[in-house]
Homo-oligomer: A and B are copies of this chain.
Amino acid sequence: MEKKLEQLKETLATLADLGGAVGVLGWDQQTCMPPMAAEARGQQMGTLGRLAHDIATSAELGKLLEELKVHAADLDPDSDDARMIKFAVRDFEQATRIPGDFVVEQAQVIALASQAWSEAKEKSDFAHFQPHLEKIVDLTHRLIGFFPPAEHPYDTLLDFYEPEMKTAEVKSIFNTLRTQQVELIRKIGTKPQVDDSFLHQPFDEKKQWDFGVEVVTKYGYDWQRGRQDKAPHPFTSSFSINDVRITTRINPEFLNTMLFGTMHEAGHALYDLGHAPELERTNLNTGASQAVHESQSRMWENLVGRSLPFWRYFYPRLQEYFPQLTKVGLVDFYRGINKSQPSLIRVEADESTYNLHIMLRLELEIAIIEGKVQVKDLPQAWNQKMEEYLGVTPPDDARGVLQDVHWSWGYFGYFSTYALGNLISAQLWEQIIKDIPDLEDQFSLGRFDSLLAWLRKNIHCHGRKYLPQELVQKVTGSKIDPAAYMRYLNKKYTQIYDL
């Protein structure tokens, strides 16, 4: 048993190393790589991916896991070893269901589709992307077909990003949320709008960068184990527990882009930097799920970074960087960065409207999988729902159905994790406030270490040891639930808009 477990750990270490290497190649591709190197980079990443797939689906590993599964019954089910085996079995079963030829075909379709999406978005020309998206939908149907029939075919897709989450659960959560969030927006709409014009003016790029660095340093981001670079679409990349890198982008005429983008990515990074060192080079050295990951990024971006206590400390610093803000008071600044306004673009949406962008995508994805909407009809369906939920209509597809890259990557099943992440962040927050009653006072003094310590202990250190629902239940006493988030939103916006 001991020897077999060692064998498994060696295989997992090899896979972790390959994953880390692919991560470095991907990071380099988006931050450093010369333009003409794209094709070779694709080949290199493809080769590493193929080698990893061969190892992850090998008969040898399958046999090893069969043997370990039996012995695992004797282990403490919450021990690292038991969880390692559990998830190794899960990953093996998932990977072996997908034929190698399909993986290759999918990679080729995606390479062309993401290129076509980029061109289509540039020209706001959905027709250019349509045939590619049709192929991706076809692939997605075939992918579902490799798995045993689920309660709903979309369950199979969700499971890739949010293990064991069911379509029915997400729909039920979103149904509650939708009514309440639409009602909140309606109420806000009856009130005078706040002024955020001071956020739209020239802000020196170097100073923006430096302020962002100051914030995430205070958050506890460890520069000995990370770095920040610029990227057109910011992301966080983890290559090992000691190498978790963030990226940001800077809009020289709008402060929010750098500000909340940097905090968001730092939130992801703090999670990956906080996994227990024992999990390094295992299959557990990663987040519990996309939603749990997003709960961390959204917490540091919104519950911390868009809060009044945070700005009590940081606003004077920001004003030193940008003296043009001297004439804007703290509370006006706080209201400005929290302005609620239905808008076209998901990534620019405020907290009161963000989840509606997600619901729209989830509903369209389910409709496509159920065959109730055809790809060609997506632009119209998109615009209808935008009107229905947010009262705005995209003037073109670039600002409508073409705005997100996800579908071109074949990421059907992903979007809802963004909204679930918001919900989890508020559920955790209610628990944190109970455990650290003076948390907001600490923020006002520029202290975030108690928060980080709490997250490390309750969330980060576990890595992927628990399923997302299991983790949320363990920490908050209930499963993912929209109530806490709605309490948070209602309280915040009642105060800001005097509802």
Bound CA–CA A17/B33 (angstroms)? 16
Report A3-40 CB contacts with B as 1/0, cut-off 8 Å: 00000000001100110110011001000111111011
Q: How far is the CB of A221 from chain B (nearest CB, A)?
A: 11
Tell which of B43, B51, B226 touches A34, judged by Cβ atoms closer than 8 Å. Answer: B226
A40 & B239 in contact (Cβ 8 Å cutoff): yes
One of A174-182, A240-248, A346-354, A417-425 at the interface: A240-248
Bound CA–CA A245/B239 (angstroms)? 22
Whether, in the assembled complex, A225 has its beta carbon less than 8 Å from a beta carbon of chain B, the answer is: yes
Further pairs besides A17-B47, A34-B227, A37-B240: 7, Cβ < 8 Å? A34-B223, A34-B242, A36-B243, A40-B243, A41-B239, A43-B281, A44-B239
- Chain B residues with CB under 8 A of A225: 34, 36-37
- Chain B residues with CB under 8 A of A21: 21, 25, 44, 47-48
Residue of B nearest to A54 (CB): B51
B243 & A33 in contact (Cβ 8 Å cutoff): yes
Residue of B nearest to A229 (CB): B32
A44, A51, A241, A281: most-surrounded residue (chain B CB, <10 A): A44
- Chain B residues with CB under 8 A of A40: 20, 239-243, 280-281
B281 & A37 in contact (Cβ 8 Å cutoff): no
Whether, in the assembled complex, A224 has its beta carbon less than 8 Å from a beta carbon of chain B, the answer is: yes
B13 & A242 in contact (Cβ 8 Å cutoff): no
Q: How many residues of A contact B (CB 8 A)?
A: 38
Q: How far is the CB of A24 from chain B (nearest CB, A)?
A: 6
- Chain B residues with CB under 8 A of A241: 40
- Chain B residues with CB under 8 A of A47: 13-14, 17-18, 21
Bound CA–CA A48/B47 (angstroms)? 11
- Rank and list the top 9 A-B pairs by shortest CB-CB distance, nearest first: A40-B240, A37-B243, A17-B47, A36-B242, A17-B44, A36-B224, A36-B225, A37-B242, A20-B44
Bound CA–CA A40/B243 (angstroms)? 8
- Chain B residues with CB under 8 A of A33: 243
Bound CA–CA A233/B24 (angstroms)? 22
- Chain B residues with CB under 8 A of A32: 32, 227
12 contacts between A and B (CB under 8 A): A18-B47, A21-B48, A24-B44, A33-B243, A34-B245, A36-B224, A36-B242, A37-B240, A37-B242, A40-B240, A43-B240, A51-B51
Q: How far is the CB of A30 from chain B (nearest CB, A)?
A: 13
A39 & B242 in contact (Cβ 8 Å cutoff): yes
Q: How far is the CB of A381 from chain B (nearest CB, A)?
A: 41
Q: How far is the CB of A208 from chain B (nearest CB, A)?
A: 21
Contact residues, A202-233 vs B (CB, 8 A) = 222-227
Bound CA–CA A47/B22 (angstroms)? 12
- Chain B residues with CB under 8 A of A13: 43, 47
Bound CA–CA A48/B18 (angstroms)? 7
Bound CA–CA A225/B28 (angstroms)? 14
B17 & A48 in contact (Cβ 8 Å cutoff): yes
Tell which of B37, B43, B242, B280 touches A17, judged by Cβ atoms closer than 8 Å. Answer: B43
B280 & A34 in contact (Cβ 8 Å cutoff): no
Q: How far is the CB of A195 from chain B (nearest CB, A)?
A: 41
